[in-house]
Amino acid sequence: MYDRHVLLGALNPALLRQITLLEIHDSLPSTNERLLQVPDTPTAGSLAVCLAGHQSAGRGRNGKSWHSPSGAGLLLSVSRTAPKPPDGSLALALGVAIAEGLEAFVSDRVELKWPNDLVTQDRKLGGILVETSSQGGAETRVVAGLGINIRVNEEQRKLVTGAGGMHPAGLSELNLQKAPETNDLAVAMITAIAGVLDSHPVDGFGRWTDDWKRRDWLAGKRIEARSGADTHVGTATGVDSSGALLLEESGGERRILSAEIRL
């Protein structure tokens, strides 16, 4: 599915020099978990990359399962050390960069559903999961995981929608000529993720804010935000500089830091 030599030859040389670990697996429990467990802490500014054809324990936010048959999706994680844990806006910035990169492979606009879903034609194309671990001292290992549907079969559709998830879409359905070449897609996504992991600790969410607004799938929609026993209903009006969702309720505006969103 992935060809190491093709990947190494296609990545930008400057980016390639930053990558100190590139692992490719036919199958493993989780690409994020793998990079969280890598024992050697990368040197400052270096990147570790893990790709898999299948995940036996892939996950999304709040421990939800990520369903993807073997070879049917792009599954990868990129990690980098950071001076401190990132705020919630990192996932949003990653979403903007990844959406821009995906539009080279599809003719439809890729939108973003807060906080971490990639949406096109009102269906879920993929998702992002940011996780961190302490490296001792002041440093934090930041792992950005990405799952993109390339092909979606009927069993996968039933699993996702039966669990209350958004209807899935695959890149092969959206590209009328042919499914994207997996190595090309991987290079584009690694490049997009690496750029955000490099810039976000310095620039924060500011440079991505306008692009997020243009892609905000929830903007203006009446939604329900559930977090534990709390449920808030209102109109989504955007996000703030920390990545919190802004919800206009009858009593005023509320910041939502973490929640399951239903329309």
Asked whether the CA dihedral 184, 156, 56, 165 is positive or negative, the reply is: positive
Residues 222 and 189 in one domain: no
Residues 165 and 63 in one domain: yes
Beta-strand pair 111-113/73-82:
unpaired
Q: Is the predicted pLDDT of residue 23 greater than 60, yes or no?
A: yes
The amino acid that residue 142 corresponds to is V
Print the domain residue range for 150: 4-211
Residues 159 and 174 in one domain: yes
Residues 150 and 240 in one domain: no
Residues 106 and 172 in one domain: yes
The alpha carbon of residue 257 and the mean position of all alpha carbons in its chain are separated, in whole angstroms, by 17
Q: Is the predicted pLDDT of residue 66 greater than 60, yes or no?
A: no
The predicted model scores a pTM of: 0.91
Residues 183 and 246 in one domain: no
Residues 145 and 224 in one domain: no
**Could you give phi then psi for residue 62, rounded to 5 degrees?**
55, 30
Residues 191 and 230 in one domain: no
The amino acid that residue 207 corresponds to is R
Residues 161 and 246 in one domain: no
**Helical (H) or strand (E) element with 31:** helix 31-37
**pLDDT at residue 216, rounded to an integer:** 98
Domain tally, the chain: 2
Per-residue pLDDT reduced to its tens digit, 187-226: 999 999 999 999 999 999 999 999 999 999 999 999 999 9
Domain of 226, CATH number, reads: 2.30.30.100
Residues in contact with 198: Cβ distance below 8 Å, sequence separation at least 6, in sequence order: 45, 80
Residues 134 and 26 in one domain: yes
Residues 159 and 250 in one domain: no
Reduced to 3 states, what is the DSSP secondary structure of residue 237? Answer: strand
- Out of 57-61, 139-143, 246-250, the most confident range is 246-250
Q: Is the predicted pLDDT of residue 61 greater than 90, yes or no?
A: no
Among 192, 1, 19, smallest CA distance to 104 is for: 192
Taking CB atoms within 8 Å and a gap of at least 24, the contacts of 107-113 are 107/174, 107/175, 107/176, 108/174, 109/215, 110/215, 111/215, 111/216, 111/217, 112/212, 112/215, 112/216, 112/217, 113/166, 113/217, 113/218, 113/261
Reduced to 3 states, what is the DSSP secondary structure of residue 59? Answer: strand
Per-residue pLDDT reduced to its tens digit, 70-80: 667 999 999 99
Q: Is omega for the bond preceding 86 within 30 degrees of 0, making it cis?
A: no
Our CA angle for 107, 122, 172, nearest 5°, is 45
**pLDDT at residue 118, rounded to an integer:** 98
Residues 58 and 84 in one domain: yes
Domain of 154, CATH number, reads: 3.30.930.10
Per-residue pLDDT reduced to its tens digit, 81-106: 888 899 999 999 999 999 999 998 88
Task: Give the up-direction half-sphere exposure of residue 151: CA atoms within 13 A in the CB hemisphere.
Answer: 12
